[in-house]
A and B are shown apart, each in its own frame.
Chain A
Amino acid sequence: MLTLNGITKIYDKDYSKTKVLDNVSLKIEKGELTALMGVSGSGKTTLLNILGGMDRATEGTYDFMDIQVNMLTQSQLNKFRKENVSFVFQNFALMNHFSVFENVELPLLMKNVPRRKRKIKVCAILEQMGILEMKDKLPIHLSGGQKQRCAIARALVSESPLILADEPTGALDRKTSAAIMELFKEMNAAGRTVIIVTHDRNVAEACNRILYISDGKVCEEK
């Protein structure tokens, strides 16, 4: 489903260049549940951003189904993200002044889904996540686990084919992270391609493929 070919990412800031990704080539098939591991600062988030069309690689090509992502303009990239990618951010990235419902509703709003349909969909997802009773609360009133569920609900609601999760269990205790992993597995079973960045071996073990990133190179484990 997605193919990276010779992807290199160099951050060029304040006269110092950092090569974060070095000639990475990678193929991920539709319906895979992939874990991406690596030490802090190894470039996991950078790779995820490139996969999600949020950042551009310095070199290399990236094909997503029949879209050549590295050739897209900025507004085409926005559209690409809107239609194909769901992110679960490392720090939840919830809008603080908006309720749980409004946060989860956002991707649908941007796809111009009608109001009634939005309500039905969002409530169904929140129910599934077990935070329906929190729907009118602001994110500051939620616990870490609830925030994460909210962030995942937002990623789920738009039904995009690719889900990118950046350390979705990082802030959670073991029991909650196991429950969250079940959710990702469910999504994956429903046919979506999922890539999870994690430090946690248990989480990685639950996936059907583990990639390891170090010194800008990505290699397969197992």
Chain B
Amino acid sequence: MPYYKKIIRIFTRDRISFFLLIINYTFIIFIIYNFAELVQKIRLEEEANTPYEYQKNIELIANDMYNVNSDTVDEIISLGEEYSRYNTRLILYMPVGDGISEFQVDICFNPEELTRESVETFLDTENKNEGVYIGESILPYTFSENDKTFIIIAQDIYEVKGIYQNSSAAGNDQRIAVSYYSLTENGKEKIESKLKENLGMEMYVSFMLGSDEDISTAFAEFGDRLNSLNISWVTSENEVDASYQNFWYKTLNRLSSAGMLIFAFLDCYAVTTMWVMRRKREFLIRKALGAGVTDIIKVLVKDIIKYMIVSVPLFMVMELVYKKTYGEDFNVGEYELLKYIILTAGIFVVFLFSLIGPLISIHKMNPAEGLGGD
């Protein structure tokens, strides 16, 4: 018999169990993995002493942006510094003209140094094979040589192929992207003039900022800083504190994850029990031939591992699709190890516990009754 056929036989011995188990195990691993990720996130939150969610909106209403000056820019930037470690958006709303339109400054604090990818995802530049397209706000950081324009992004030199003027994704949006890392006086002026230029218009300004400052100290002082701002941000009544959302979001997230985990456990238990009961005769035969509990455990664990070999890659595909749909990164960075330890331990515990019931019932089976007789 050819080798591949043997392998197929091993997996499809009991086709119903095979498909049922593969599907269920894949989901179970998926659920445990996402639970592990949540635990990882919680650890990160504790580490930063602040809610860690994918995005946090802090909305401030600015009464008066007509007096935009370089102080305004400084304030915006210093606010940015304080949040720069988080995936945070600081949105400044300002009534414009008749008060119906609004001027929105949307500051995305990018925790990382400006990289080609971060620039690209920010819609400001567009990757072309021959070079990059950049937004006009990064123009100050370009340099020219031999009639060509270049920009250094994260130590790589790219040729600038084109410049977007007020590039916009949706109608009246106008974006400026600024790399705080390389912000110079020139850059500050650029922002200032951009703000002034567009006063009275509907506008959407994005700042991309980064910082090395120790954020836990900066964040602790954030409340004081807000109150002491000398420009006319109205913060107290109109500030939409993100923490309310975080609390419910977090609680819901944790509850549903715990619920899913229980569901996964019950599912695993039911499926494993069914699977073992389908094989009752086989185990009776094994017992009759002298198999002890350890022999049975060996058989079961071996088979579970076999199913895992199929389930784990399936889970990976599923996770990838899931992450892609939600636009999340596969990589959360720190605490990767913790996540994988929880994943492995979780799978181990769930499968081990799901084996207890079936093992007891196998242990109770009497081969003399199941097999003998006329």
Contact partners of B139 in chain A: CB under 8 A: none
Interface string of B261-291 (1 = CB under 8 A from A): 0000000000000000001011011111111
Compute how far the CA of A136 lies from the CA of B13 in the bound complex, rounded to whole angstroms: 13
Compute how far the CA of A122 lies from the CA of B288 in the bound complex, rounded to whole angstroms: 20
**Does B367 sit at the interface, judged by CB under 8 A?**
yes
Q: Which of A46, A97, A98, A107 has the most CB of B within 10 A?
A: A97
Contact partners of B282 in chain A: CB under 8 A: 95-98
Given A95-B281, A97-B282, A110-B295, also A79-B290 (CB < 8 A):
yes
A89 near B372 with CB under 8 A, answer yes
Chain B positions 289-308 with a Cβ under 8 Å from a chain A Cβ: 289-293, 295
Interface class of chain A by DSSP: mixed
B285 near A95 with CB under 8 A, answer yes
Chain A positions 77-102 with a Cβ under 8 Å from a chain B Cβ: 78-83, 85, 87, 89-91, 93-99
Contact partners of B9 in chain A: CB under 8 A: 99
CB distance from A150 to the nearest CB of B (A): 12
Contact partners of A96 in chain B: CB under 8 A: 281-282
Chain A positions 143-197 with a Cβ under 8 Å from a chain B Cβ: 154, 166
A106 near B372 with CB under 8 A, answer no
Contact partners of B292 in chain A: CB under 8 A: 75, 78-79
Contact partners of B367 in chain A: CB under 8 A: 54
Contact partners of B289 in chain A: CB under 8 A: 81-82, 87, 106-107, 110, 154
**Does B99 sit at the interface, judged by CB under 8 A?**
no
**Does B338 sit at the interface, judged by CB under 8 A?**
no
Q: Which of A54, A94, A136 has the most CB of B within 10 A?
A: A54
Q: Which of B9, B287, B371 has the most CB of A within 10 A?
A: B371
Contact partners of B286 in chain A: CB under 8 A: 106, 110
Contact partners of A87 in chain B: CB under 8 A: 288-289
Interface string of B1-27 (1 = CB under 8 A from A): 100000001000110000000000000
Compute how far the CA of A98 lies from the CA of B13 in the bound complex, rounded to whole angstroms: 7
B374 near A78 with CB under 8 A, answer no
**Does B373 sit at the interface, judged by CB under 8 A?**
yes
Interface size on B, residues (CB 8 A): 25
Contact partners of A45 in chain B: CB under 8 A: 372-374
Q: Which of A41, A49, A80 has the most CB of B within 10 A?
A: A49
Contact partners of A97 in chain B: CB under 8 A: 13-14, 279, 282
CB distance from A67 to the nearest CB of B (A): 14
Given A54-B367, A96-B281, A97-B13, also A81-B288 (CB < 8 A):
yes
B368 near A55 with CB under 8 A, answer yes
B13 near A91 with CB under 8 A, answer no
**Does B69 sit at the interface, judged by CB under 8 A?**
no
B288 near A93 with CB under 8 A, answer yes
CB distance from B364 to the nearest CB of A (A): 11
- Residue of B whose beta carbon sits closest to that of A75: B292
Compute how far the CA of A95 lies from the CA of B366 in the bound complex, rounded to whole angstroms: 17
10 A-B pairs within 8 Å (CB atoms) are namely A54-B367, A78-B291, A79-B290, A81-B289, A82-B289, A91-B371, A93-B281, A96-B281, A96-B282, A110-B291
**Additional A-B contact list (15), CB under 8 Å, known A79-B290, A90-B372, A93-B288:** A48-B372, A54-B288, A54-B367, A75-B293, A78-B291, A78-B292, A79-B292, A83-B290, A89-B372, A90-B373, A93-B285, A93-B371, A98-B282, A110-B286, A154-B289
